[in-house]
Amino acid sequence: MHDNEVATDADLVRALLASQHPQWAGLPIERVASAGTDNAIYRLGDELAVRLPRIDWAFDNVAKEQRWLPVLAPHLPLPVPRPLATGAPEAAFPYPWGVVQWLPGELATSERFDDPIEAARDLGAFVRALQAVDSTGAPTPVRGLPVRNGDAMVRIGIEGLRGEVDADAVAEAWDRVLAAPDYDGQPVWFHGDLSYLNLLAHHGKLAAVIDWGTCGVGDPAIDCLPAWRLFPPAARAAYRDVLGVDDATWERARGWVLQGVYGIAYYRDTNPVLAGDLIRGIEALLAE
């Protein structure tokens, strides 16, 4: 998926476990099919998962999740993966890696919800609870900074489109984003990547929020993403209502959706599932 990506397989996972966490080395290991971009995921037995960073830019996410998920989890109304162990780099694998709790469910596509409006309200309540957690000392990654910082990336993405979405309409919508005021409130916690790829549905309801590598504090607009990338119009309105965001925040949120144009070209051939998700979100935004 990336240049300089580190290859992994079940044999590598078993060797790493045997070296550092031998109590789990005898469990069944199965690679999890995933459109995730930062980590390779392996199910370990029935209750565990191993996460191995694919690329150098993702390796510090292991430490972030280990540090902050135990802080956030007690305040949140839905389960998040509990970190259980960290693995150190060694000759066979160059990055820190982690063992986490396995959470049951399926990727939360809209059709897996019995009631998308209820799911939107549940996710909105989750985001509100996350925003209320004390942010002292929390990390401030790129996704917490002003969305306008992505201007050059969006322009490159627009030039690289091959008709997947209306390039002129994207440019016009992006110009409206640039006209919106930047966030000037207190930094709040965000997940940073609330696509269906990082949400689980179980028995028709939203069941868990996974993959916290992009979490941090900053502008809450980033966590409005599922309004377009997951929910149909009525559920989108319900999500906004629970979040209680103003027009400027909603416009900046559109900007985060539009930044997906860069990823369309990057992942067009290597990760068509993700590219398709980015396209659907932009199309939903442009159709409003």
Residue range 43-52, pLDDT digits in tens = 999 999 999 9
Structure-token match 């409130």, residue found: 185
Q: How far apart are CA 81 and CA 101, in angstroms?
A: 5
Tens-digit pLDDT profile for residues 174-194: 999 999 999 999 999 999 999
CA–CA separation, 16 vs 226, rounded Å? Answer: 36
**Mean model confidence pLDDT for the chain:** 95
Least confident of 30-34, 68-72, 208-212, 284-288: 30-34
Contact (CB, 8 A) for 216 and 273: no
Task: Categorize the per-residue pLDDT at 56 as very low, low, confident or very high, splitting at 50, 70 and 90.
Answer: confident
Bridge-based pairing state of the strands 48-53 and 83-87: unpaired
pLDDT in tens, 265-281: 999 998 999 999 999 99
39 vs 57, residue with greater confidence: 39
Reported as a single tens digit per residue, the pLDDT across 201-257 is: 999 999 999 999 999 999 999 999 999 999 999 999 999 999 999 999 999 999 999
Kindly report, residue by residue over 128-138, the tens digit of the pLDDT.
Answer: 999 999 999 99
Mean pLDDT over residues 87-99, rounded? 95
Own/partner contacts of 20-26, CB < 8 Å, gap of 24 or more, are: 20/87, 20/88, 20/90, 21/85, 21/87, 21/99, 24/48, 24/99
- Would the pLDDT of 41 be above 90? yes
Q: Residue 153: what are its φ and ψ, rounded to 5°?
A: -65, -40
Report residue 165 CA to chain centroid gap.
22
**In this predicted structure, what is the pLDDT of residue 280?**
96
- Supply the pTM of this predicted model: 0.94
Q: Which residues sit opposite 85 in a β-bridge?
A: 99
Cβ 49 vs Cβ 68: under 8 Å: no
Query: Of the segments 1-15, 160-174, 263-277, which one has the largest average pLDDT value?
Result: 160-174
